[in-house]
Chains A and B, each alone.
Chain A
Amino acid sequence: MTMTDAPTATSVIGQRLLRKEDPVLLTGEAVFANDMKVPGALHMAVLRSPYASATIVSIDTSAAAAMPGVRAVYTGADLAEQWAAPMPCAWAVTEDMLNPPHHPIAIDAVHYVGDGVAVVLADSDAIAHDAIEAIDVEYDSREPIIDLDDALSDRVLVHPDLGTNSSYTWNLLIEETDGAVQKAFDEAAYTVSERYVQQRLIPMAMEPRAVVSIPQPFGGDLTLYTSTQIPHVLKVMIAVTLGVPEHQLRVIAPAVGGGFGSKLDVYAEELLCVALSRKHGVPVRWNETRSENTVATIQGRGQIQHMELAADADGKLTAMRVRLTADMGAYMQLITPGIPLLGAFLYAGVYDLPKAYDFSCTGVFTNLTPTDAYRGAGRPEATYAIERAMDALAAVVGLDPLEFRRRNFIRKEQFPYEACTGLTYDSGDHDAAATIAADMIDYAGVRARQAEQNVDGATKRLGLGVSTYFEMCGLAPSRVLASLNYSAGGWEAATVRILPTSKVQVVTGTSPHGQGHETSWSMIVADKLGIDPADVDVLHSDTTIAPLGMDTYGSRSLPVGGVAVGMACDKVIDKAKQIAAHQMEANVDDLEFTGGVFRVAGSPDKEMPLAAIAFEAFTAHNLPDGLEPNLEAQVTYDPPNFSWPFGTHMCLVEVDIETGAIEVLQYVAVDDCGNQVNPMIVEGQVHGGVVQGLAQALFEGADHDADGNLRTSTLADYLVPAASDVPSITTGRSVTPSPTNPLGVKGVGEAGTIGAAPAVMNAIVDALSGLGVHDVSMPASPNTVWNAIHAAQSTTSPNGGPQ
C-alpha cells in the first residue's frame, strides 16, 4: 500500500478514532422515529392497490369506519383538496419532459401495485391495519406495462392522457467535428456493441420508513419526525406541496436506520401524516411494514444499456456511443428522471476518450414502483457498462484486461484533466491504484493458476475480474446543477460555536444515517482548534437547530459539508485572533495559532489559549471596538467542482460449471478518496458498498410477474446477502488529495458499490470465457450461470454441452 501526503502523526485527522455515535446505538438508547412515544397519536395505515393498472370504480369505507377504534377513513377523492401542488419532482431534465400529476393518494386510477388508495386513522396500529382490510374497493383493471421495450413501443399506455410512455429523451453529443463519432466507428480497428440490463433493486435499508407528525393546533407550528436523509429539502417541499407556512415547520430526522438513497425522497406518507395531523389537530404516525417498503419505497437501477466502443489498431479508445432506456416506474419521485444523467458523464470511466461521445437516454414510464436514487445513482450503472465493455473490447483486441485498461488510462500527468464531456477531473492516479490492487491479489500469480486450472474438462474454473472507476460525487457545484436543470443548489452550511467554557458545538446541514459525521466532523474541528474531539458536539438533522442544509446523499457530506465545517473553524479562529491580539496588545498579523494557543511571534512569553478567549467573548468586557460578543462563525460553501474519488477493484471467483455455483475467493478494493479523516470509517463505507455491489451481481433483483406483482416483496424472497453469503473484503488505498477543497478530501459513500458489480461480473465471465460465454446477466444465480454456459456450448460445441 502506498500513501502520499500522509497526515502528520500529531494530527487528529487520519486517526482511527472510535465513533461517538456508537454507545447510544449499541445500548438501545438511540431513538428511531418508530421508537417515539407520542401520547394521543392516531395511527395511520394505507390501503394499497393490488393492481398495477386500474381505474377506481368505487370505494366503500363504511365497514372500516364503523370499527371500534377507527377515527377516520379517507379516499383520494376525500383528500384531493389537501394538496396545494402534486408531489414534487425536482429534476425536469428537459423542458418538454412529461410528468403526470402524482398525489399522495390515488384519486381515480392506480398505476402500480402499492399505489395508495385509502387511509385509515385509528387508535392503534393493529386497529388501523384491521380496518384497511375492511375497505371495499371496486377496480376496473387494465393491462399493465412491465417490460421496458414493450413500454417504449407505446402499445399500452401507463398514463393514457400523456399519449406516450416516453417521458423524455436527453442527449449529450460531444464531437470535435460534426460526424466525429460515426467517423471513428467507421475507421475503427476494433469495435464492440454490448447490451446490459441493470435489474431493479430494492434498497432495503434495515429500518423501514416511519413518520410522526405533531401539530400545534392553536399555535400553528408543526414538527415532523421522519426517517429521512433530507430533512431540509423535505421542509421546503412540504411547504410547497401542502401550503404549510415554512417558518412554522420543523423537520427532524432522528436516528435513521440506513438510507442508501431510498430516504432521499419526499414520500406520500410524510405528506399524508402532515395533512391529517393538521386536519385532526392531533399527532398522526405511520410505520412502514417491510412488505410495504418493497413496493411503497422507491426502487433503484432499472436500465437497459446499449454500449458501443471503438478503438484504433493500438487498442486506444476512439469513440463511444451509449443508448439508455431508463425505467421511471409509474411516477416521477423527487429526482427520478435525473438518475441516468448522473451517470451520463461517467461512461468514459477512467479512460482518455477523445471528443467523440454520443449519449442518449430515454426515460420511460412503466406500471411499477417509481425508481429513484439507490447507492451510486446512475454512476454504478455507467461504470458497469464501461467496465464490462472494456473487457469485451480487450478480448477482441487480444489483450489482457488490465493491460488494455492501462493503455487507455488518463495518465497522472494529464490531471487536472478536461474530460470530453467538459467536466474537469481534478486529480487521479489510476496506474498507481491498479498496481496496488494487482499486487494485493497477485495478479500474475492468479493468471498463472488460472492457466493451470481452467483446462479442458475442468469443472471448477477460476475467474479474475478487474474494474476501475471514477466517481463524480460531492454533489455539487450549484451552477452545474443549474445547467442540468436541477431545481436546487449543492452547497452546504456549517456553524462552529465555541461556548463560554470552551466546549464546542458544531451545527451541520448534513444529515447522517450511519456515516459517522459526529465523529468525523469532531475530528476536523479538533484538528483545526487544537482541542480534544470529545469536547466537540455535532448537532444535525433538525431544521430548527440546523436551519441551513442540503442534507446527505451522493457522497457529498465530507467534501461539501465537512469542508464547510473546516472553513467555519478557520473563520472562528480569525475572530478569536482579533480578540487575542486586542488583549495581548499585539498586531493581528504577528499572531500564530497552534495547538489551541495564540502566540505572539518573537515573544514566547505572550500567549493566550482559545479557552480564555472563549470566556472573554462571552463576558464581552474587553473586546475590540465593533466586534460582536460571541465566538461563532457560519460558512455556506458551494463547491467549485465535484469530488472525484477513484479506484481499482479486483475479484477472484471460482465457478462450478456443473452447477453454476459461484464462490467468491477474494475481493480486493483499492479506493482513493484523497485524505482520509478517519480510515476506520472509510473502510467501513467501502466494505458495505462492496457488498451492495456484489449483491447486485450475485443475488438481488426486484422480480415482477406479468401482472406487475412484486414476487420478491419480503426479506424471505429478496436476497439481501447474509454474513454467510459474502467474503471478507481486503481494502487498500492510495491517497491523492483533492486540489478542489482545503481538506483534500473526496467522498467515499458510494465507491464500493460502483466498483463491485463489474468486478464480480467480469470475474464470472472471465472464468467462463474458455467455454464461449461472452456475458452473464445479473443477478448471476447458479441457474443463470448454468443457462449461460449451456447456451454458449450449444452454439459452439458439436455435442451441445459443457466440455
Chain B
Amino acid sequence: MEITVTVNGTPQTHDVEPRLLLVQYIREVVGLTGTNIGCDTSSCGACSLHLNGEAVKSCTVLAVQADGQDIRTIEGMAAADGTLHPMQQAFMENHGLQCGYCTPGMVMAATSLLQENPNPTEEDVRLGLEGNLCRCTGYHNIVKSVLAAASANA
C-alpha cells in the first residue's frame, strides 16, 4: 500500500506492507534509527514518537494508519543550527540518561507530557512517564530533568 507521511517536516511517499509497524517504517524504510525498539509488547516506550504532535508508541501503530499524518522523531527535535530542544538540554544538564537507549522515547514522551500539563508535580511526571521504562537511571534524574524543563518553560 502506498502511504504519504510527513517526517520531521519532510513529505515521504513509500509502498509498504500492510503489516509493517510504524516503528519499522521509520527505522527501516525512512532510515531514521534514533527511534529504538525495546520490547514486543508495547510495554517499554523506547519507540515513542510524535504523531500529529502527541506521543505514541510507534510499535502500536501500523505504518498504513499513519498515512497522511505528521510524524516527528527524535531526529527532528534539535534545531537546524544544532541547538538542543529544551527537553534534550534538560536531560543533559540533569544527567537524565546513561546508556541512552530509552532516551529518545523518554524525551518524546516527556515533551508530550509537558504539552498536556506544563506545570506537573513530581508525581504527575512519574505517572505520566509510566509507559516508558529505563533500566539505568532509576528514574531519579529523568524526573528531575522533566521538572527542570517544565520550570524553564514557565
A30-46 at interface with B (beta carbon < 8 Å): 30-32, 34-35, 37
Q: How far is the CA of A255 from the CA of B91 in the complex (A)?
A: 18
Q: A22-B100, A290-B40 are in contact. List 6 more A-B contacts (CB 8 A).
A: A207-B38, A207-B99, A208-B38, A255-B101, A515-B98, A724-B129
Residues of B contacting A18 with CB < 8 Å? 92-93, 95
Residue on A nearest B35 in the bound complex, by CB: A28
Contact call A728/B122, Cβ cutoff below 8 A: yes
A-B pairs with lowest CB-CB distance, top 6: A28-B34, A25-B100, A257-B101, A514-B99, A691-B138, A35-B33
User: Which of A456-464, A639-647, A680-688 makes up part of the contact surface?
Assistant: A680-688
B73 lies within 8 A of chain A by Cβ: yes
The contact sample of 13 A-B pairs, CB cut-off 8 A, is A22-B100, A29-B34, A31-B33, A204-B135, A206-B36, A681-B95, A684-B95, A684-B98, A691-B140, A716-B39, A720-B133, A722-B130, A723-B142
Contact call A724/B130, Cβ cutoff below 8 A: yes
As a 0/1 sequence over residues 118 to 154 of chain B, the CB contacts with chain A under 8 angstroms (1 = contact) are: 0000100111011111111111111100000000000
Contact call B93/A206, Cβ cutoff below 8 A: no
Residues of B contacting A681 with CB < 8 Å? 95
A690 lies within 8 A of chain B by Cβ: yes
Contact call A722/B131, Cβ cutoff below 8 A: yes
Q: How far is the CA of A360 from the CA of B27 in the complex (A)?
A: 51
Residues of B contacting A32 with CB < 8 Å? 33, 36, 101
B37-70 at interface with A (beta carbon < 8 Å): 37-44, 46
Minimum CB–CB distance for A374 against chain B, Å: 12
Q: How far is the CA of A462 from the CA of B112 in the complex (A)?
A: 37
Contact call A27/B75, Cβ cutoff below 8 A: yes
Residue on A nearest B78 in the bound complex, by CB: A27
Residues of B contacting A513 with CB < 8 Å? 99
Contact call A724/B104, Cβ cutoff below 8 A: no
Q: Which of B40, B77, B78, B100 contacts A257 (CB 8 A)?
A: B100
Contact call B138/A688, Cβ cutoff below 8 A: yes
Q: How far is the CA of A208 from the CA of B37 in the complex (A)?
A: 8
B71 lies within 8 A of chain A by Cβ: no
As a 0/1 sequence over residues 717 to 734 of chain A, the CB contacts with chain B under 8 angstroms (1 = contact) are: 000101111101100000
- Seen from chain A, the residues whose Cβ lies within 8 Å of a Cβ on chain B are 18-19, 21-32, 34-35, 37, 126, 204-208, 255-258, 260, 289-291, 513-516, 680-681, 683-684, 687-692, 714-716, 720, 722-726, 728-729, 752
B107 lies within 8 A of chain A by Cβ: yes
Q: How far is the CA of A516 from the CA of B92 in the complex (A)?
A: 12
Whether A28 touches B126, Cβ cut-off 8 Å, given contacts A19-B92, A206-B135, A715-B44, is: no
Whether A258 touches B99, Cβ cut-off 8 Å, given contacts A207-B38, A687-B137, A729-B140, is: yes
Q: Which of A23, A29, A257 contacts B92 (CB 8 A)?
A: A23
Contact call A206/B102, Cβ cutoff below 8 A: yes
Contact call B39/A728, Cβ cutoff below 8 A: no
Residues of B contacting A255 with CB < 8 Å? 99-101
Contact call A257/B140, Cβ cutoff below 8 A: no
B31 lies within 8 A of chain A by Cβ: yes
Residue on B nearest A207 in the bound complex, by CB: B101
Chain B at the A interface: SS class: loop
A-B pairs with beta carbons under 8 A, tally: 179
Contact call A724/B44, Cβ cutoff below 8 A: no
Q: How far is the CA of A274 from the CA of B42 in the complex (A)?
A: 31
Residues of B contacting A19 with CB < 8 Å? 92, 95
Contact call B100/A26, Cβ cutoff below 8 A: yes
Minimum CB–CB distance for A70 against chain B, Å: 17
Minimum CB–CB distance for A669 against chain B, Å: 10
Contact call B127/A724, Cβ cutoff below 8 A: yes
Contact call B133/A722, Cβ cutoff below 8 A: yes
B85-118 at interface with A (beta carbon < 8 Å): 88, 91-93, 95, 97-104, 107
Minimum CB–CB distance for A226 against chain B, Å: 15
Whether A28 touches B84, Cβ cut-off 8 Å, given contacts A258-B135, A289-B40, A714-B41, is: no
Residue on A nearest B102 in the bound complex, by CB: A206
Whether A28 touches B75, Cβ cut-off 8 Å, given contacts A206-B99, A687-B141, A724-B126, is: yes
Whether A722 touches B129, Cβ cut-off 8 Å, given contacts A23-B92, A26-B91, A729-B140, is: yes
Contact call B84/A720, Cβ cutoff below 8 A: no
Contact call B143/A723, Cβ cutoff below 8 A: yes
Residue on B nearest A29 in the bound complex, by CB: B34
Contact call B46/A206, Cβ cutoff below 8 A: yes
Whether A716 touches B138, Cβ cut-off 8 Å, given contacts A26-B97, A27-B34, is: no
B74 lies within 8 A of chain A by Cβ: yes
Whether A684 touches B41, Cβ cut-off 8 Å, given contacts A27-B74, A27-B77, A255-B100, is: no
Contact call A290/B84, Cβ cutoff below 8 A: no
Contact call B41/A715, Cβ cutoff below 8 A: yes
Whether A715 touches B136, Cβ cut-off 8 Å, given contacts A205-B99, A723-B130, A723-B142, is: no
Contact call A688/B33, Cβ cutoff below 8 A: no
Contact call B97/A22, Cβ cutoff below 8 A: yes
Residues of B contacting A35 with CB < 8 Å? 27, 33
Contact call A26/B107, Cβ cutoff below 8 A: yes
Q: How far is the CA of A724 from the CA of B140 in the complex (A)?
A: 11
Q: Which of B38, B75, B141 has the most CB of A within 10 A?
A: B38
Q: Which of A27, A35, A724 has the most CB of B within 10 A?
A: A27
B32 lies within 8 A of chain A by Cβ: yes
Contact call A291/B40, Cβ cutoff below 8 A: yes
Residues of B contacting A27 with CB < 8 Å? 34, 74-75, 77-78, 84, 88
Minimum CB–CB distance for B8 against chain A, Å: 10
Q: Which of B27, B32, B73, B136 has the most CB of A within 10 A?
A: B136
Contact call A207/B36, Cβ cutoff below 8 A: yes
As a 0/1 sequence over residues 15 to 36 of chain B, the CB contacts with chain A under 8 angstroms (1 = contact) are: 0010100000001000111111
Residues of A contacting B91 with CB < 8 Å? 22, 26
Minimum CB–CB distance for A517 against chain B, Å: 12
Minimum CB–CB distance for A707 against chain B, Å: 22
Q: Which of B33, B88, B99 has the most CB of A within 10 A?
A: B99
Q: How far is the CA of A215 from the CA of B136 in the complex (A)?
A: 34
Whether A25 touches B41, Cβ cut-off 8 Å, given contacts A206-B134, A207-B36, A724-B127, is: no
Residue on A nearest B93 in the bound complex, by CB: A18
Residues of A contacting B98 with CB < 8 Å? 258, 514-516, 684, 688
Residue on A nearest B122 in the bound complex, by CB: A728
Residues of B contacting A289 with CB < 8 Å? 40
Residues of A contacting B34 with CB < 8 Å? 27-30
Q: How far is the CA of A684 from the CA of B142 in the complex (A)?
A: 10
Minimum CB–CB distance for B122 against chain A, Å: 7
Minimum CB–CB distance for A130 against chain B, Å: 10
Q: How far is the CA of A6 from the CA of B36 in the complex (A)?
A: 41
Q: Which of B44, B93, B104 contacts A28 (CB 8 A)?
A: B104
Q: Which of B17, B77, B95, B101 has the most CB of A within 10 A?
A: B101
Minimum CB–CB distance for B98 against chain A, Å: 4
Contact call B126/A723, Cβ cutoff below 8 A: yes
Q: How far is the CA of A684 from the CA of B143 in the complex (A)?
A: 13
Q: How far is the CA of A684 from the CA of B95 in the complex (A)?
A: 7
Q: How far is the CA of A683 from the CA of B95 in the complex (A)?
A: 9
Q: How far is the CA of A491 from the CA of B98 in the complex (A)?
A: 25
Q: How far is the CA of A207 from the CA of B97 in the complex (A)?
A: 14
Q: How far is the CA of A725 from the CA of B75 in the complex (A)?
A: 30
Residue on B nearest A22 in the bound complex, by CB: B92
Whether A26 touches B135, Cβ cut-off 8 Å, given contacts A206-B102, A514-B98, A724-B127, is: no
Q: Which of A25, A126, A729 has the most CB of B within 10 A?
A: A25
Q: How far is the CA of A516 from the CA of B97 in the complex (A)?
A: 10
Contact call A30/B100, Cβ cutoff below 8 A: yes
Q: How far is the CA of A590 from the CA of B131 in the complex (A)?
A: 63
Contact call B36/A715, Cβ cutoff below 8 A: no
Q: Which of B133, B139, B142 contacts A206 (CB 8 A)?
A: B133
Contact call A715/B39, Cβ cutoff below 8 A: yes
Residues of B contacting A680 with CB < 8 Å? 95
Contact call B75/A714, Cβ cutoff below 8 A: no
Whether A691 touches B39, Cβ cut-off 8 Å, given contacts A206-B133, A681-B95, is: no
Q: Which of A28, A204, A723 contacts B125 (CB 8 A)?
A: A723
Contact call B137/A290, Cβ cutoff below 8 A: no
